[in-house]
A and B are shown apart, each in its own frame.
Chain A
Amino acid sequence: MKRQLILTLSALAAVCQALASPVNPLLGDKYSLFEQPSLVRGQRITLGVIGNDRDSFKLGEYTGLREDGVYGLGAFFSGGEWFESDINYRLEGRDLGLESRQILGRFGFARGIRLDVAYRELPHYELDSILIPFHRAGGNRWQLPADWVGASGVAGFTGLDGALGETDTHTKRKRVEAELLVPLNENWSLAADYSLEDKSGNQLTGVVFGVGGTQLGVRVPSEIDRQTREMGLSLAYQSGWGSFTGGYRYSDLDEESDPLIVQNPFISPAFADAANYPRGFARLAPAPDNSAHVFYGKGILRLGRTARLSLDLQRARHEQDDDFLPYTVNDGLATPLALPAPDLDGERVISHARFALTVRPTARTNLALKYRYHDRDDRTDRMPFAFVLHDVLEQGTDPAAGDIRVNRPYSRTTRQLSLEGGYRFSGGWRLSVGLERETVERDFLPVDETEEDAGHLKLNYRLGDRVSGWLKWRRADRSSGTYDSNAAYLAGHPQAFIDANGTDAFVNDPALRIFFLADRERDQQDWVLNWAASASTSLALKIQRSDDDYPDSQFGLSEAQRRNLTLDASYSPDKTFSLYGYASRAWQERDQGGFQWLGFLPQMVLPPLRDNSANGWRVASESRSDTLGAGLEWAVNNRLDLELEYALTRSETEYDIEAGSALTAAPLPDLTMDWRDITARARYRVREGISLALQYRFRDYSTDDFALDGVAVDTDPSVLLSGAASPDFRANTLVFSVTYELR
């Protein structure tokens, strides 16, 4: 009987899979019609249908439900003893019929041996209705129609309308995983895991042909085809005095996409003749195949009942040796100057150590001391490259003329030390304090070392039986010492160029501070209040505030602020009924400045010019996101469960622009998003083991985005854009399912 049931379940699962056309999908975004089991034993199968009345990539972004129609759905669970053997198993299928389908399994053998297996798919639908004049000519090569008329700008493309074809961007991940745990004896165990993920699809990629004042470009859906493998082997020991795990992990990326090659649609007098239409192409390098080897050991030592010492050590190596592409795809642009090496032979070594010691000298007191060292040492060789810029200019080889660049393999070393202590008072009050110090060393950047000192204070409080919460304040000051704006310039050019142009030249304005290197004062405050107004009613309030100030940053990011306000409320008079609601507002503000100079002026003379603010500008952005939600869950009787849920999110980003008198500026429209969901679910138990479920979901989603809306393929005079609009949809989804359960 059991065997028959399993066979039946397998057959039904196969039917569900068969029903899952690659172009139909989902159920809304939530799967609550289907149980989320971590059951140990029993059999269950759910079959259903879903109807959707709207075509929309955004609706099916992560599920594939992007076209209207009626589709089949399924889920199953089976667990217990495998054919009356000593093997325990659990098999579970989720989202069968959707493109986010998953099949998970766990098998438990004698002596505690355990095998987990999983198959998952994860789609991502991004942009539909992309328009391009190119067609694929094998692999990742994009060509124009034979009758294309080249021109020096988009306006001259007289054959554009007739050449446009529609496409989209999307990706799909398919992943298989397996994990084996083998207890060797009471103290030792061995674990191994393996995963393989295949990602395919495409992504919109910008390709530039222009240089300097002639910046011309196109956007095309570049192919994605890559595999990522992960595997690990570890040995663990556990006993009364502590535990230890040591192991090795390996990961690699196999990039199977061809280099993106795109025919140049432009004809420009600024380009070498071999680079213009129809002869000219551009070629982009795909991500290099890479691998990571990680050796690690981590353990904990129990020092008495309440003291613990943990240690985490890791040594990793990231490497890649993909062969370099030639300097350009266009024959005739490159001189016979050879590449300095056939490949990068890139190597990055990561050393990591961290220890934490915690003690509880009394039952009410706790202390923690932590130290973390993390070093990422990029050992890749530095080499000079005489580049061909954007596949359109002939290769320059004069080291004194700026035609050669040297790569900068960035390294970084972080050291963190923190001390924390806490005391638990009677009545549920608790006071915690902490001090932290962090130093970060980097190379090839304007700042060699930053130091940050931080401290925090946190008070957990309880007022009677009904009110509790906590207050937290944190302050962090980062100082960066000397800021050498020309550090990247010096490291990125050959000595001959520096000799010819001086060591004081630089690329970025000296008044700009790169924000992750700059002096920073950070203030953060959190306040949480929980109020159990009655045995059935509770309220929670959370207020968060974070202010980053960059006091020395005249240009670049100078301020960043975050605020969050959230209010939660719930009412649950008994276990059969609950009502909940929440409201939140999040603000994000960023303030930055810049200096516009349209000339070949050595930036070193800018400071006097900068005093005249005619060319200066500032942009302040403020984003507000409001979310309002409410719902109820009601077990009407022992047969019928009802759920109702409403959620609304509205976000708005405003840009406030201040321009100097020599500049021309106009306001930017607000960026907005409105997202409204209404979901109603009902589950009815017909009899023991059989239940019906019905779900209705309404989704209303709209956005305004000035970078996309009203922007056609030929809107910009220099770049062929994609013509994609920001997504808007309004969809109704209805799901009906039957669940059969045998315990």
Chain B
Amino acid sequence: MGIRNLCRTLFILVVALVPVSSLAGEGGKEADGYVDNERQTCLMCHNTPAVKGVLETPHFMSGDPASPGERQGCQSCHGPASEHVASPMQVKPMGFGADSEIPVEAQNTVCLDCHESGDRNDWHASTHAAAGVACADCHSVHEPRQKALNRNAQAGICFDCHLDKRQALRRRSHHPIEEGLVGCADCHNPHGGSGPGQLQAVSVNDPCTICHAEKRGPFLWEHPPVADDCTNCHDPHGSVHPDLLVQRPPFLCQQCHSESFHPGTLRSGTGLPGASPDNKILGGACTNCHSQVHGSNHPSGTVLSR
């Protein structure tokens, strides 16, 4: 069976399962079982700074009818508490995070009941959802200073799993992420996105040209790998080469250019000072002349030098 036939078959299967899935939920909230005056009731036992921090967060913003604090209070997220109050050790309220016995999907449903919109539209189809990531793995809703929502500190959350990216940011050339000026979420939507790599935008180049709009074009003389995908030449997370390049010129350029004369010529230590200095390897190498590698709008710029 070819992949097209397989896809077609699976598409039919997936669509057919939609009505079945509506019967397979984790169970909705109970309509009753809520205790009154819950904030005081809960705080009688759960009176630690780690718990009470939530009172300082937008979830308990007074006067906002949409905030959980103004609805059922703690029970808005943790579920009806009357049985727990009656038998504190036997009946546990809904818990969140890695230590919770509640399946991740059920935990996330609580958050998505209010937050499944806007930038979180695609959560259900996101890489993180497929990987079984819980909202509480990144968001500490009881913390007044949520790292995940703070550009200066957000990368620390991402690095808990994306260990290789933490390493990449300590290379010679990197975006100022560790410096707290750019956040992972400036480019990525951890809740899922329409583009590759859970990007905020619909293509790889779009987030790059938000800050680097001068490279957006269209140009008279386009450079195909630039128009194709910025990551053909750049590693946005960090590189041992200058300008986030995946390889340094001239070798970067020679990955695609092998012509008579200088493009195909081998560059090596013979071009260093003391031997026969070669401007194709020193300074900016190829960009000493072809400085308009992202595109040129000059009528004589056909070789991207004007």
- For B218, give its contact among A208, A346, A514 (CB under 8 Å): A346
Of B9-17, B32-40, B84-92, the stretch lying at the interface with chain A is B9-17
B240, A673: Cβ atoms closer than 8 Å: yes
Contacts of A507 in B (CB 8 A): 259
Contact B168 A586 (CB under 8 A): yes
Is A717 at the interface (CB under 8 A from chain B)? Answer: yes
CA distance A354 to B17 in the complex (A): 20
Residue of B nearest to A602 (CB): B260
Residues of A within 8 A of B268 (CB): 655, 657, 659, 665-668
Distance in angstroms from A672 CB to nearest chain B CB is 9
Partner of A327, one of B254, B282, B290, B300: B300
A597 CA to B163 CA in the complex, in Å?
44
A206 engages B284 (CB within 8 Å): yes
Confirm or deny: A83 has a beta carbon within 8 angstroms of a beta carbon on chain B: no
Q: Are B290 and A598 in contact (CB under 8 A)?
A: no
State A208–B301 Cα separation when bound (angstroms): 11
> Is B116 touching A366 in the complex (CB atoms < 8 A)?
no
A447 smallest CB distance to B (angstroms): 11
Contact A284 B15 (CB under 8 A): no
CA distance A651 to B242 in the complex (A): 13
Number of interface residues of A (CB under 8 A): 200
B213 interface hit (Cβ, 8 Å)? yes
Is A596 a contact partner of B254 (Cβ separation < 8 A)? no
Given contacts A207-B291, A669-B269, A707-B281, contact A540 B163 (CB under 8 A): yes
| Distance in angstroms between the alpha carbons of A718 and B288 in the assembled complex | 11
CB pair B218–A319 under 8 Å, yes or no, is yes
| Interface flag for A30 (CB, 8 Å) | yes
Inter-chain contact B256/A515, CB cutoff 8 Å: yes
Q: Contact flags (1/0) for A307-351 with B, using CB distance below 8 Å?
A: 110101010001110101111100000000001000010111010
13 A-B pairs (CB sep. < 8 Å): A29-B179, A213-B261, A226-B213, A288-B297, A324-B299, A344-B297, A422-B130, A435-B7, A512-B257, A556-B256, A594-B254, A594-B264, A595-B258
Q: Is A667 a contact of B152 with CB atoms below 8 Å?
A: no
Overall SS of chain A's interface? strand
B221 on interface, CB distance cutoff 8 Å = yes
- B94, CB-defined interface residue at 8 Å: no
Determine whether the beta carbon of A35 is less than 8 Å from that of B145. Answer: yes
Q: Tell me the number of A-to-B contacts counted with CB atoms below 8 Å.
A: 494
A717 surroundings in chain B (CB, below 8 A) = 277
A205 CA / B171 CA spacing, docked (Å) = 24
Please, how many angstroms separate the alpha-carbon atoms of A716 and B281 in the complex?
10
Instruction: Assess the A290–B216 pair: CB atoms within 8 A.
Output: yes
Is the pair A442, B21 in contact by a Cβ cutoff of 8 Å?
A: no
- The residue from A302, A356, A376 contacting B125, defined by CB atoms under 8 A apart: A356
**Would A37 and B125 be within 8 Å (CB), given that A368-B130, A721-B283 are in contact?**
no
A215 lies within 8 A of B262 (CB): yes
Interface contact B284-A298, CB-CB below 8 Å: no
Contacts of B180 in A (CB 8 A): 29-31, 100
**A-B pairs, 3 with minimum CB distance:** A304-B22, A666-B269, A305-B25
Are the C-beta atoms of B19 and A387 separated by less than 8 Å? no
**For A623, what are the chain B residues with a Cβ–Cβ distance below 8 Å?**
240
- Structural contact, A357 and B14, CB atoms closer than 8 A: yes
Which chain B positions have C-beta within 8 A of A357? 14-15, 18, 125
| Chain A residue, CB-CB nearest to B4 | A437
User: Given that A363-B26, A380-B218 are known contacts, is A38 also in contact with B144, CB under 8 Å in the complex?
Assistant: yes
Interface string of B243-267 (1 = CB under 8 A from A): 0001110010011111111101110
Instruction: Say which one of A10-18, A158-166, A401-409, A678-686 lies at the interface with B.
Output: A401-409
How far is A388 from B261 in the complex, measured between Cα atoms in Å?
Answer: 21
Cα distance, A292 to B205, chains bound together (Å):
13
Which of B10, B56, B289 has the most A CB atoms < 10 Å from its CB? B289
If A206-B290, A623-B240, A625-B171 touch, whether A363 touches B24 (CB-CB below 8 Å) is yes
Does A710 touch B at the CB level, under 8 Å? Answer: yes
Q: Counting CB contacts under 8 A, is A592 at the interface?
A: yes
Measured between beta carbons, the chain B residues less than 8 angstroms from A408 are: 222
A711 within 8 A of B: yes
Contact B28 A305 (CB under 8 A): yes
Tally B residues with Cβ within 8 Å of A: 132
In Å, the complex CA distance between A435 and B13 comes to: 15
Taking each of B25, B194, B260, B261, which has the highest tally of chain A beta carbons within 10 Å of its own beta carbon? B194
- Complex CA gap A235/B49 in Å reads 39
Cβ–Cβ contact B259 & A318, under 8 A: no
* Contact partner, A556, options B258, B283, B287, Cβ 8 Å: B258
Q: B251 contacts A619, CB within 8 Å?
A: yes
Which of these, A38, A540, A601, contacts B260 with CB under 8 Å?
A601
CB pair B275–A666 under 8 Å, yes or no, is yes
Interface status of A306 (Cβ within 8 A of chain B): yes
Is A420 part of the contact surface with B, judged by Cβ < 8 Å? yes
Cβ-based interface call for A143 (8 A): no
Contact, CB under 8 Å: B146 / A38: yes
Contact of B255 among A292, A372, A540, A557 (CB under 8 A): A557
Report whether A112 and B18 are in contact in the complex, using a CB–CB cutoff of 8 Å.
Answer: no
Check if A594 sits within 8 Å of B258, measured CB to CB: yes
Residues of B within 8 A of A666 (CB): 268-270, 272, 275
> Known pairs A112-B66, A667-B268. 4 more at Cβ < 8 A?
A100-B180, A322-B297, A651-B171, A666-B272
Which of B10, B213, B229, B260 has the largest count of A CB atoms less than 10 A from its CB?
B213
A328 to B300, CA, bound (A): 7
**Is the CB–CB distance between B300 and A391 below 8 Å?**
yes
CA of A514 to CA of B202, assembled, Å: 25
Asked if residues B257 and A405 are in contact (CB atoms below 8 Å), the reply is no
The answer, yes or no, to whether A564 is at the interface (CB within 8 Å) is: yes
Distance, CA A351 to CA B290, complexed state (A): 32
Chain A residues near B292 (CB, 8 Å)?
284-285
> Cβ of A584 < 8 Å from any Cβ of B?
yes
User: What B residues does A671 contact at CB under 8 A?
Assistant: 240-241, 248
Cβ-defined partner of B170 (8 Å) among A255, A347, A380, A649: A649
The answer to whether B17 and A359 have CB atoms under 8 Å apart is yes
A409 touches B218 (CB 8 A): yes
B283 lies within 8 A of A600 (CB): no
- Nearest-CB residue, chain A, relative to B98: A468
Specify which of B117, B166, B273 lies most central, judged by the most chain A CB atoms within 10 Å of its CB.
B117
Q: A205-B291, A410-B224 are in contact. Are A369 and B171 (CB under 8 A)?
A: no
Does A300 sit within 8 A of B, measured CB to CB?
A: yes
Interchain CB contact under 8 A, B264 and A39:
no
Cα–Cα, bound, A69→B149 (Å) = 34
Residues of A within 8 A of B211 (CB): 197, 228
Q: Given A290-B213, A387-B300, A627-B170, does the pair A305, B22 have CB atoms closer than 8 Å?
A: yes
Known A362-B24, A722-B283; judge A36-B153 contact (CB<8 A): yes
Q: Is the CB of B61 closer than 8 A to any CB of chain A?
A: yes
- In angstroms, Cα B223 to Cα A409, docked, is 9
Please state if A287 and B289 are interface contacts (CB–CB under 8 Å): no
Tell me the complex Cα distance, A378–B105, Å. Answer: 43
Cα(A492)–Cα(B223), bound, Å: 13
Q: Which residues of A contact B66 (CB under 8 A)?
A: 112
Contact of A653 among B129, B132, B240 (CB under 8 A): B240
Residues of B within 8 A of A245 (CB): 117-118, 121
- Bound-complex Cα distance A110 to B221 (A): 52
A41 touches B56 (CB 8 A): yes
The answer to whether A176 has its CB under 8 Å from any CB of chain B is no
Residues in B neighbouring A299, C-beta threshold 8 A: 121
Q: Does A63 touch B at the CB level, under 8 Å? A: yes
Q: Does A663 contact B (CB under 8 A)?
A: yes
Which residue of chain B has its CB nearest to the CB of A713? B283
Chain B nearest CB: distance from A436 CB in Å? 9
Given A304-B22, A387-B299, A721–B279 Cβ distance below 8 Å?
Answer: yes
Q: Is the CB of A719 within 8 A of B288?
A: yes
Assess whether B41 is interfacial by the CB under 8 Å rule. no
Let me know if B222 and A359 touch, CB within 8 A: no
**Contact among B26, B255, B270, B289 with A215 in the assembled complex (CB-CB below 8 Å):** B289
Distance in Å: Cβ of B189 to nearest Cβ of chain A: 11
Does A49 belong to the interface (CB within 8 Å)? no
Residues on B with beta carbons closer than 8 Å to the beta carbon of A150:
none
A interface footprint on B160-181 (CB within 8 Å = 1, 0 otherwise): 0001101110111000101111
